[in-house]
Structure 1
């Protein structure tokens, strides 16, 4: 699992359905690569920073899925060697997909919509699948694979430093001079930042 540092340009790019479904593949890939080239050099010490430009191009070409509607700023990448399937950039995969592709993608999406801390929507996550093997030809394996993918993603996320995105509000607090000290104490407990004091 890798952290995909989300930038406003990247989030806007992925939140617009038109970019992913109605524009030709090469144009979308070129825009995403431009964003990668701009962002990834600043991710010093991360998994992304160690990748060459050729490797980044290969990773973008092998994107398996983006997150679901509420969590599009996430990606699932298929780096399984010799895995033959239609590229996401060539349109929807119908007959060319491998048998359990949808189970893997569904498990990824379930993980993103219910994160490990408080079932929060995940943001800025990239999951890299490098290998998976199915030993049994049981028809129920698809459902089990979806559950296993979700559990694997959750276990990987728990190894990282997890944090929640908190809302930030700007407000004006009015109080008497006698209660000013108590107000500052409450604000400090709530991790508030006083930008201006009219006293």
Structure 2
């Protein structure tokens, strides 16, 4: 049986490794991640992509967000709500982000414009999910806040099937992560060295 302490310990280990990355490490990885992700058919043909703005030593998303926006893709970015659910707003370029601090947690960069509601994500053709690791079955280890569990449940209730993609460092693709019945596998993981697919996606 999976216990939350098991997941907490694993999260701490992955975060410790990330904390040792230099700014150059993060930037080099972000460039490679953007190139890999932009080559995915799911993103090449997407009209709307739900994504997120990376912070700190997370695998970088900014170059990817800008490239998608420049392609004319509608990019939705999350805004954290008080109950850890996510609202969404459109990304309109670099100047459209505002730094928001939620309690004592790390400041997040969120869209500054109109809020579209938590259900806006159901219109996405692809959803980029943050994570700390993914395993051989495509099961993702999140950060533990539950925000993206709600997103995935909302997508399932709506009957939509967007491509689910996670961006990670190479060392974060592992043999197995703890999974619970409500966890859902992703379709693909992009790392600086390439793409790996799950669940029979082409």
Q: TM-score range by the shorter chain?
A: under 0.3
Kindly name which structure, 1 or 2, has the bigger radius of gyration based on alpha carbons. 1
| TM-score of the aligned structures, taking structure 1 as reference length | 0.26
User: Which structure is higher in helix share?
Assistant: 1
